[in-house]
Amino acid sequence: MTKQLVIIGGGPGGYVAALKGAALGARVTLIEKENLGGTCLNWGCIPSKIMKNSADLLLKCLEADKMGIQIEGHVSADMTALMARKDKILEDQRKGIEGLMEANGISVLFGKGKIAGPGKVSVTDAAGEETIVDYDKLIIATGTKPLNVLDFPFDHTRVVSSNDILCLDRIPASMTIVGGGVIGCEFAFIFSALGCQVTVVEAMSRLLPLPSVDESCSKLLMREMKKRKIKVFCDTVVTKAEAGDAGVSVSLSVSPFTDNPKPKKLKTDTLESEIMAVCIGRTPLSEDLGLENIGLQTERGWIPANEFMETAADNVYAIGDILGPAKIMLAHVASHEGLVAAENALSDTGTKAVMAYNAVPGAIFTMPEVGTVGLSEEGAKAAGFEVETASVNFRVLGKAQAIGEIAGEAKMIVDAATKKVLGVHITGPHATDLIAEATLAVEKGMTADEVAHTIHAHPTLAEIMGEVASKASGMPLHG
């Protein structure tokens, strides 16, 4: 008998699970309350990269004389045109996903999905009409939304979310960004390049204070922010924000959350800016989902799932950001979790697909970019490894010199005994593309020597992997 697979949430996890389910012969229904593509396409990965591309182009135009190009007249950003381009690309991408669903025989219902009981989901559309959909297997992929902090809630004008930033019709003269994580750092570079005076406030002792990001990346990024006149306050929290007609007054305090045992005294306890962007986390979209109707409990709103993507409820799976920080909240991780969940939901072989998180690439679109995979140096030591590290600057590459992007380095962490690659952390031009080779090396358990003996084309930025692997294996070349 053909199984009925229902998926709540049409983001990169949900729609990929739908495609996999259809390929495996299920009747698939995908429920989405807003737009297909989820946060990644509509409010995250794609629109912010569209903005970054324009910011990169503007910087190149402003520095064109260094490349032997003369540009006459004034060069500036046009936010109206930029937003129009962004909206057009997003609409085309959404239509592309809709076309994939139609071509694969997947039924798409737009509306709010709620679990009515075991085997049943209700869908309420914009007109208030309800449809009941039966399921044999259910995948929950509802994702998250920006965290609204009660001490300085969004007014969407002066105190804005990461969603609001993507809809600005002007470039603010100044912006305070609360949170020096991935989202905060990306927007800091983008808006600085577009001509905004940016200040970043981070509660921890460094930018990008994530276990997956080596401290060397944070240090290099801090130097680049200083070069671009981006002000950074680490070990600092925002306690209050008072919005007025002219802007927002931001009150600061020494962070009680910092991992710095001796944080420095603040030079100022107040910042003034046109807007304040809050980029300090996400909150789960699990409320009013009807989880109680199948006896499924959450942990602070996050849905627990095992390595097979199974939840505690029979025939119910969960994928993507709704799993929370206990997993890795990235679009490409959600997609892979979707493949695993669909395969396990529909397989009759008894063999289960397993979701592994040991070789997940991280892509951070700052200026320069950051690409990471595997363990950081600190993480490797904490895991009990005796490690060796090697670092090579991008400036040793002819390609980096040719394109005028020499800031950055690649760092490789290896097991001292076996030279097995434990982690790679790249900060530099196109680091988010270059990390793919390192991901394969970590996934396949390769040694530094094996990577070093792989021929890398010249002149390319990819040579950075050959250089750092040669150094890690005791045969340094130009680095």
Catalytic site positions: 458
Question: Which residue type does 41 have?
Answer: L
Phi-psi region of 419 (alpha: psi -120 to 50; beta: other; left: phi over 0): left
Q: In sequence order, which residues have a C-beta less than 8 Å from that of residue 355 and are 6 or more positions away? A: 307, 308, 309, 336, 337, 340
3-state secondary structure at position 105 = coil
Contact assessment for residue 317 and residue 311, using Cβ atoms and an 8 Å cutoff: yes
Cα(36)–Cα(179) distance, rounded to whole angstroms?
A: 28
d(CA 87, CA 92): 9
- How far apart are the C-alpha atoms of 30 and 36, rounded to whole Å? 10
Looking at 416-477, list the stretches that DSSP marks H as alpha helix, in order from N- to C-terminal side.
431-443, 448-452, 463-472
Q: Give the Å distances, CA to CA, from 417 to 255, 385, 422.
A: 40, 9, 12
* Residue 178 DSSP code: E
Q: Specify whether the CB–CB gap between 196 and 168 falls below 8 A.
A: no
- 465 Cα distance to chain centroid: 23
Amino acid of residue 118: P
Q: Which of 291, 359, 357 is nearest to 322 (CA)?
A: 291
Q: Which one-letter DSSP state was computed for residue 258? A: -
> Going edge to edge, which strands form the sheet with 369-374?
362-364, 369-374, 421-428, 409-415, 387-393
Which backbone phi and psi does 299 adopt, to 5 degrees?
A: -115, 100
Torsion sign across C-alpha atoms 48, 49, 50, 56? positive
Nearest CA among 441, 458, 367 for reference residue 407: 367
